[in-house]
Chain A
Amino acid sequence: MTKDDFWQGVRGGFPVMVSASPFGALFGALAVDNGFSVFDAVFMSATVFAGASQMVGIELFGHNVQPWLIVLSIFAVNFRHVLYSASIARHIRHFSGLQKFFAFFLLVDPQYAETEKRAERGEPVTFAWYLGFGLIIYLPWQVTTLLGAIFGQMIGDPKAIGLDVLLPIYFMGLVLGFRKRDNWLPVVAVSSLASVAAMHFVGSPWHVSIGAIAGILLAACLPLSKRHEEPVTLEHEV
Protein backbone atom coordinates (compact mmCIF):
# COMPACT_ATOMS: atom_id res chain seq x y z
CA MET A 1 0.00 0.00 0.00
CA THR A 2 1.43 3.32 -1.12
CA LYS A 3 -0.04 5.34 1.73
CA ASP A 4 1.15 2.83 4.34
CA ASP A 5 4.63 2.87 2.82
CA PHE A 6 4.71 6.67 2.97
CA TRP A 7 3.83 6.76 6.67
CA GLN A 8 6.24 3.91 7.38
CA GLY A 9 8.92 6.10 5.82
CA VAL A 10 7.83 9.09 7.90
CA ARG A 11 8.04 7.00 11.09
CA GLY A 12 11.46 5.66 10.05
CA GLY A 13 12.82 9.13 9.36
CA PHE A 14 11.41 10.65 12.55
CA PRO A 15 14.39 9.84 14.84
CA VAL A 16 16.71 11.18 12.14
CA MET A 17 14.73 14.41 12.04
CA VAL A 18 14.93 14.71 15.83
CA SER A 19 18.70 14.24 15.85
CA ALA A 20 19.21 16.53 12.83
CA SER A 21 17.09 19.38 14.24
CA PRO A 22 19.75 20.79 16.58
CA PHE A 23 22.10 20.95 13.59
CA GLY A 24 19.52 22.73 11.44
CA ALA A 25 19.11 25.31 14.19
CA LEU A 26 22.87 25.51 14.71
CA PHE A 27 23.41 26.00 10.97
CA GLY A 28 20.84 28.80 10.89
CA ALA A 29 22.45 30.53 13.83
CA LEU A 30 26.01 30.20 12.51
CA ALA A 31 24.96 31.30 9.01
CA VAL A 32 23.52 34.55 10.36
CA ASP A 33 26.68 34.94 12.43
CA ASN A 34 28.74 34.64 9.20
CA GLY A 35 26.89 37.40 7.36
CA PHE A 36 23.97 35.48 5.84
CA SER A 37 20.46 36.91 5.99
CA VAL A 38 17.67 34.68 7.35
CA PHE A 39 16.53 34.19 3.73
CA ASP A 40 20.05 33.15 2.60
CA ALA A 41 20.29 30.55 5.38
CA VAL A 42 16.95 28.93 4.47
CA PHE A 43 17.76 29.24 0.74
CA MET A 44 20.97 27.26 1.30
CA SER A 45 19.22 24.61 3.41
CA ALA A 46 16.49 24.25 0.76
CA THR A 47 18.80 23.99 -2.28
CA VAL A 48 21.98 22.29 -0.95
CA PHE A 49 20.39 20.17 1.83
CA ALA A 50 23.66 18.68 3.13
CA GLY A 51 24.40 19.70 6.72
CA ALA A 52 28.15 19.19 7.08
CA SER A 53 28.89 20.88 3.74
CA GLN A 54 26.59 23.79 4.61
CA MET A 55 28.62 24.32 7.78
CA VAL A 56 31.83 24.30 5.72
CA GLY A 57 30.26 26.70 3.22
CA ILE A 58 29.28 29.37 5.75
CA GLU A 59 32.62 29.04 7.52
CA LEU A 60 34.53 29.71 4.27
CA PHE A 61 32.13 32.46 3.21
CA GLY A 62 32.65 34.14 6.58
CA HIS A 63 36.39 34.18 5.88
CA ASN A 64 35.90 35.72 2.41
CA VAL A 65 37.37 32.70 0.62
CA GLN A 66 37.11 32.81 -3.22
CA PRO A 67 33.77 31.49 -4.58
CA TRP A 68 35.34 28.66 -6.62
CA LEU A 69 37.08 27.35 -3.48
CA ILE A 70 33.82 27.47 -1.49
CA VAL A 71 32.00 25.46 -4.18
CA LEU A 72 34.93 23.03 -4.52
CA SER A 73 35.01 22.46 -0.74
CA ILE A 74 31.28 21.78 -0.65
CA PHE A 75 31.76 19.40 -3.58
CA ALA A 76 34.56 17.61 -1.70
CA VAL A 77 32.58 17.24 1.53
CA ASN A 78 29.66 15.88 -0.48
CA PHE A 79 31.77 13.67 -2.73
CA ARG A 80 30.75 10.58 -0.74
CA HIS A 81 27.28 10.93 -2.32
CA VAL A 82 28.79 9.72 -5.63
CA LEU A 83 29.40 6.42 -3.87
CA TYR A 84 25.91 6.44 -2.35
CA SER A 85 24.19 6.99 -5.68
CA ALA A 86 26.28 4.26 -7.31
CA SER A 87 25.43 1.88 -4.49
CA ILE A 88 21.73 2.78 -4.33
CA ALA A 89 21.19 2.37 -8.11
CA ARG A 90 20.56 -1.36 -7.55
CA HIS A 91 17.59 -0.62 -5.30
CA ILE A 92 15.78 2.21 -7.13
CA ARG A 93 15.90 0.97 -10.72
CA HIS A 94 12.09 0.82 -10.78
CA PHE A 95 11.65 4.57 -10.01
CA SER A 96 10.51 6.83 -12.89
CA GLY A 97 12.85 9.56 -14.15
CA LEU A 98 11.17 12.30 -12.10
CA GLN A 99 11.09 10.04 -9.03
CA LYS A 100 14.82 9.42 -9.45
CA PHE A 101 15.41 13.19 -9.65
CA PHE A 102 13.71 13.72 -6.27
CA ALA A 103 15.32 10.58 -4.83
CA PHE A 104 18.82 11.84 -5.62
CA PHE A 105 18.02 15.35 -4.43
CA LEU A 106 16.98 13.91 -1.04
CA LEU A 107 19.93 11.46 -0.79
CA VAL A 108 21.44 12.36 2.61
CA ASP A 109 23.54 9.96 4.75
CA PRO A 110 20.70 8.43 6.81
CA GLN A 111 18.45 8.19 3.72
CA TYR A 112 21.16 6.16 2.02
CA ALA A 113 21.85 4.03 5.11
CA GLU A 114 18.17 3.22 5.68
CA THR A 115 17.57 2.44 1.98
CA GLU A 116 20.47 -0.03 2.05
CA LYS A 117 19.23 -1.61 5.28
CA ARG A 118 15.68 -1.87 3.93
CA ALA A 119 16.91 -3.59 0.76
CA GLU A 120 19.13 -5.88 2.85
CA ARG A 121 16.10 -6.96 4.90
CA GLY A 122 14.34 -7.81 1.62
CA GLU A 123 11.62 -5.16 2.04
CA PRO A 124 10.59 -3.27 -1.11
CA VAL A 125 12.18 0.17 -1.59
CA THR A 126 9.09 1.98 -2.88
CA PHE A 127 9.06 5.64 -3.89
CA ALA A 128 6.32 6.34 -1.32
CA TRP A 129 8.50 4.97 1.50
CA TYR A 130 11.55 6.84 0.19
CA LEU A 131 9.64 10.12 -0.13
CA GLY A 132 8.09 9.80 3.35
CA PHE A 133 11.52 9.18 4.87
CA GLY A 134 13.05 12.07 2.91
CA LEU A 135 10.35 14.69 3.52
CA ILE A 136 10.25 14.19 7.30
CA ILE A 137 13.93 15.15 7.23
CA TYR A 138 13.85 17.80 4.46
CA LEU A 139 10.90 19.95 5.61
CA PRO A 140 11.87 20.23 9.31
CA TRP A 141 15.44 21.00 8.17
CA GLN A 142 14.05 24.21 6.62
CA VAL A 143 11.97 25.04 9.69
CA THR A 144 14.84 24.48 12.15
CA THR A 145 17.19 26.50 9.93
CA LEU A 146 14.67 29.34 9.98
CA LEU A 147 14.21 29.13 13.77
CA GLY A 148 17.96 28.91 14.32
CA ALA A 149 18.59 31.93 12.10
CA ILE A 150 15.91 33.97 13.89
CA PHE A 151 16.87 32.98 17.41
CA GLY A 152 20.57 32.54 16.60
CA GLN A 153 21.85 34.77 19.32
CA MET A 154 20.14 32.68 22.01
CA ILE A 155 22.12 29.50 21.26
CA GLY A 156 25.35 31.13 22.45
CA ASP A 157 28.09 28.54 22.94
CA PRO A 158 27.05 25.17 21.40
CA LYS A 159 29.62 23.34 23.57
CA ALA A 160 28.03 24.58 26.80
CA ILE A 161 24.80 22.75 25.92
CA GLY A 162 26.65 19.72 24.51
CA LEU A 163 25.57 20.14 20.85
CA ASP A 164 29.03 19.40 19.42
CA VAL A 165 28.95 15.76 20.52
CA LEU A 166 25.70 14.81 18.75
CA LEU A 167 26.90 14.66 15.14
CA PRO A 168 29.88 12.29 15.69
CA ILE A 169 27.77 10.03 17.91
CA TYR A 170 25.02 9.92 15.29
CA PHE A 171 27.51 8.94 12.55
CA MET A 172 29.05 6.36 14.89
CA GLY A 173 25.60 4.79 15.34
CA LEU A 174 25.31 4.47 11.57
CA VAL A 175 28.76 2.81 11.40
CA LEU A 176 27.73 0.29 14.09
CA GLY A 177 24.55 -0.45 12.12
CA PHE A 178 26.63 -1.94 9.30
CA ARG A 179 28.76 -4.21 11.55
CA LYS A 180 27.31 -7.44 10.08
CA ARG A 181 28.75 -6.69 6.64
CA ASP A 182 31.79 -8.48 5.19
CA ASN A 183 35.16 -7.06 6.28
CA TRP A 184 33.44 -4.43 8.43
CA LEU A 185 36.20 -4.15 11.05
CA PRO A 186 39.19 -3.86 8.65
CA VAL A 187 37.29 -1.33 6.54
CA VAL A 188 36.39 0.80 9.57
CA ALA A 189 39.94 0.59 10.95
CA VAL A 190 41.61 1.52 7.67
CA SER A 191 39.18 4.35 6.85
CA SER A 192 39.53 5.77 10.35
CA LEU A 193 43.34 5.72 10.28
CA ALA A 194 43.51 7.07 6.71
CA SER A 195 41.11 9.91 7.50
CA VAL A 196 43.08 10.93 10.59
CA ALA A 197 46.37 10.81 8.61
CA ALA A 198 44.79 12.76 5.72
CA MET A 199 43.41 15.34 8.14
CA HIS A 200 46.96 15.82 9.42
CA PHE A 201 48.87 15.79 6.11
CA VAL A 202 46.33 17.06 3.54
CA GLY A 203 43.71 18.84 5.61
CA SER A 204 39.95 19.07 5.87
CA PRO A 205 37.66 18.42 3.97
CA TRP A 206 39.77 16.02 1.82
CA HIS A 207 40.19 13.60 4.74
CA VAL A 208 36.62 12.45 4.07
CA SER A 209 37.24 11.36 0.45
CA ILE A 210 40.75 10.02 1.12
CA GLY A 211 39.71 7.98 4.18
CA ALA A 212 36.65 6.59 2.40
CA ILE A 213 38.59 5.57 -0.72
CA ALA A 214 41.21 3.77 1.44
CA GLY A 215 38.54 1.57 3.11
CA ILE A 216 36.71 0.92 -0.16
CA LEU A 217 39.92 -0.11 -1.99
CA LEU A 218 40.70 -2.45 0.90
CA ALA A 219 37.26 -4.08 0.60
CA ALA A 220 37.78 -4.53 -3.15
CA CYS A 221 41.17 -6.22 -2.57
CA LEU A 222 40.30 -8.51 0.37
CA PRO A 223 39.21 -12.12 -0.44
CA LEU A 224 35.58 -12.27 -1.58
CA SER A 225 32.99 -14.12 0.50
CA LYS A 226 30.93 -16.84 -1.21
CA ARG A 227 27.90 -14.73 -1.96
CA HIS A 228 29.98 -12.40 -4.14
CA GLU A 229 31.13 -15.18 -6.49
CA GLU A 230 28.16 -14.78 -8.82
CA PRO A 231 28.24 -11.39 -10.52
CA VAL A 232 25.02 -9.41 -10.15
CA THR A 233 23.46 -8.34 -13.40
CA LEU A 234 22.03 -4.86 -13.74
CA GLU A 235 19.61 -4.01 -16.51
CA HIS A 236 20.85 -1.29 -18.79
CA GLU A 237 19.10 2.01 -18.09
CA VAL A 238 17.73 4.02 -20.98
Chain B
Amino acid sequence: MDNAEHMHLIYVILAAAVATFLTRIGGYVMITQMKRIPPRMEAALNAVPAAVLSTLVAPAFLSGGWDVAAAMLVAMAVGLRLSSLWMLLVGWLAVMAIRHVLI
Protein backbone atom coordinates (compact mmCIF):
# COMPACT_ATOMS: atom_id res chain seq x y z
CA MET B 1 0.00 0.00 0.00
CA ASP B 2 1.18 3.55 -0.71
CA ASN B 3 0.83 6.40 1.77
CA ALA B 4 -2.59 7.61 0.57
CA GLU B 5 -4.03 4.07 0.67
CA HIS B 6 -2.62 3.59 4.13
CA MET B 7 -4.19 6.82 5.44
CA HIS B 8 -7.45 5.67 3.84
CA LEU B 9 -7.29 2.44 5.86
CA ILE B 10 -6.58 4.39 9.07
CA TYR B 11 -9.70 6.53 8.45
CA VAL B 12 -11.82 3.40 7.86
CA ILE B 13 -10.58 1.89 11.12
CA LEU B 14 -11.28 5.13 13.02
CA ALA B 15 -14.81 5.31 11.54
CA ALA B 16 -15.34 1.67 12.58
CA ALA B 17 -14.13 2.53 16.11
CA VAL B 18 -16.59 5.45 16.37
CA ALA B 19 -19.44 3.26 15.02
CA THR B 20 -18.59 0.57 17.58
CA PHE B 21 -18.45 3.06 20.45
CA LEU B 22 -21.87 4.42 19.38
CA THR B 23 -23.34 0.90 19.70
CA ARG B 24 -21.76 0.56 23.14
CA ILE B 25 -23.20 3.82 24.50
CA GLY B 26 -26.39 4.01 22.38
CA GLY B 27 -28.62 1.80 24.52
CA TYR B 28 -27.59 3.66 27.66
CA VAL B 29 -28.35 7.05 26.13
CA MET B 30 -31.78 5.80 25.01
CA ILE B 31 -32.75 4.18 28.28
CA THR B 32 -31.71 7.06 30.53
CA GLN B 33 -34.15 9.31 28.67
CA MET B 34 -36.93 7.24 30.25
CA LYS B 35 -37.84 7.72 33.95
CA ARG B 36 -38.81 4.13 34.68
CA ILE B 37 -38.44 0.77 32.98
CA PRO B 38 -41.80 -0.80 32.10
CA PRO B 39 -42.02 -4.47 33.20
CA ARG B 40 -42.26 -5.79 29.65
CA MET B 41 -39.14 -3.87 28.69
CA GLU B 42 -37.34 -5.35 31.68
CA ALA B 43 -38.41 -8.84 30.58
CA ALA B 44 -37.08 -8.00 27.12
CA LEU B 45 -33.77 -6.71 28.52
CA ASN B 46 -33.38 -9.87 30.60
CA ALA B 47 -33.65 -11.91 27.40
CA VAL B 48 -30.94 -9.92 25.58
CA PRO B 49 -27.85 -12.01 26.38
CA ALA B 50 -29.37 -15.43 25.60
CA ALA B 51 -31.05 -14.06 22.45
CA VAL B 52 -27.92 -12.40 21.05
CA LEU B 53 -25.47 -15.15 21.93
CA SER B 54 -27.76 -17.81 20.43
CA THR B 55 -27.38 -16.09 17.06
CA LEU B 56 -23.61 -16.56 17.31
CA VAL B 57 -23.96 -20.25 18.23
CA ALA B 58 -26.76 -21.70 16.06
CA PRO B 59 -25.35 -20.79 12.60
CA ALA B 60 -21.91 -22.09 13.63
CA PHE B 61 -23.51 -25.36 14.76
CA LEU B 62 -25.29 -25.85 11.44
CA SER B 63 -22.66 -24.59 9.01
CA GLY B 64 -19.39 -25.56 10.71
CA GLY B 65 -19.42 -29.17 9.51
CA TRP B 66 -20.30 -32.36 11.41
CA ASP B 67 -17.01 -32.35 13.32
CA VAL B 68 -17.71 -28.88 14.77
CA ALA B 69 -21.34 -29.84 15.54
CA ALA B 70 -20.20 -33.01 17.36
CA ALA B 71 -17.59 -31.07 19.37
CA MET B 72 -20.21 -28.47 20.32
CA LEU B 73 -22.62 -31.17 21.54
CA VAL B 74 -19.88 -32.72 23.67
CA ALA B 75 -18.95 -29.28 25.02
CA MET B 76 -22.60 -28.55 25.83
CA ALA B 77 -22.86 -31.75 27.87
CA VAL B 78 -19.73 -30.68 29.76
CA GLY B 79 -21.06 -27.12 30.18
CA LEU B 80 -24.12 -28.32 32.09
CA ARG B 81 -21.76 -29.37 34.92
CA LEU B 82 -18.41 -27.59 34.53
CA SER B 83 -17.04 -24.12 33.73
CA SER B 84 -16.55 -22.67 30.25
CA LEU B 85 -12.80 -23.34 30.36
CA TRP B 86 -13.56 -27.08 30.60
CA MET B 87 -16.07 -26.72 27.78
CA LEU B 88 -13.36 -25.17 25.60
CA LEU B 89 -10.79 -27.81 26.50
CA VAL B 90 -13.09 -30.81 25.99
CA GLY B 91 -14.64 -29.32 22.83
CA TRP B 92 -11.20 -28.61 21.40
CA LEU B 93 -9.98 -32.14 22.25
CA ALA B 94 -13.11 -33.58 20.62
CA VAL B 95 -12.63 -31.70 17.35
CA MET B 96 -8.91 -32.51 17.25
CA ALA B 97 -9.65 -36.20 17.90
CA ILE B 98 -12.23 -36.27 15.10
CA ARG B 99 -9.94 -34.49 12.64
CA HIS B 100 -6.67 -36.22 13.36
CA VAL B 101 -7.65 -39.64 14.67
CA LEU B 102 -11.02 -40.57 13.16
CA ILE B 103 -10.46 -39.10 9.69
- State how many angstroms separate the Cβ of A179 from the closest Cβ of chain B: 8
Contact of B13 among A44, A80, A112 (CB under 8 A): A44
Q: With A178-B50, A199-B59 given, name 6 new contacts (CB 8 A).
A: A162-B95, A192-B57, A212-B48, A219-B51, A224-B40, A228-B39
Task: With A104-B24, A165-B91, A171-B53 as known contacts, state yes or no: A195 contacts B47, CB within 8 Å.
Answer: no
**A62-99 residues at the B interface, CB under 8 angstroms:** 67, 70-72, 74-75, 78-90
A83 to chain B, nearest CB (A): 4
Contact of A234 among B32, B46, B88 (CB under 8 A): B32
Q: Is the CB of A191 within 8 A of B28?
A: no
| Interface contact B80-A48, CB-CB below 8 Å | no
Interface residues of B (CB under 8 A from A): 1, 6, 8-17, 19-32, 34-64, 68, 71-72, 75-76, 79-80, 83-85, 87-88, 91-92, 95-96, 99
Interchain Cβ contacts under 8 Å between A and B, 14 examples: A15-B83, A53-B20, A67-B8, A67-B15, A71-B12, A105-B24, A166-B88, A171-B60, A178-B50, A212-B48, A212-B52, A219-B47, A220-B40, A225-B43
Q: Does A215 contact B (CB under 8 A)?
A: yes
Q: Which of A146-184 contact B (CB under 8 A)?
A: 159-162, 164-179, 181-184
Q: A187-B50, A217-B44 are contacts. A212–B28 as well, Cβ < 8 Å? A: no
- Interface assignment of A143: CB less than 8 Å from any CB of chain B: no
B-contact 0/1 string along A112-134, CB 8 Å cutoff: 11001000000000000000000
In this assembly, does A236 line the interface, its C-beta being within 8 Å of a C-beta of chain B?
A: yes
Instruction: Decide: A183 and B47 in contact? CB cutoff 8 A.
Output: yes
Q: Identify the closest chain B residue to A211 (Cβ).
A: B55
Closest to B63 in A: A199
Listed in ascending order, the chain A residues whose CB lies under 8 Å from chain B are: 15, 18-19, 35-37, 40, 43-44, 47-50, 52-53, 57, 61, 67, 70-72, 74-75, 78-90, 100, 104-105, 107, 109, 112-113, 116, 159-162, 164-179, 181-184, 187-188, 190-196, 199, 204, 207-208, 210-222, 224-225, 228-234, 236-237
Known: A162-B99, A164-B68. Contact between A71 and B15, CB under 8 A? yes
Asked whether B54 lies within 8 Å of A233 as measured between CB atoms, the reply is no
Q: Chain A contacts of B22 at CB under 8 A?
A: 75
What residue of chain A has the Cβ atom nearest to residue B28's Cβ? A85
Residue in chain A with minimal CB distance to B71: A165
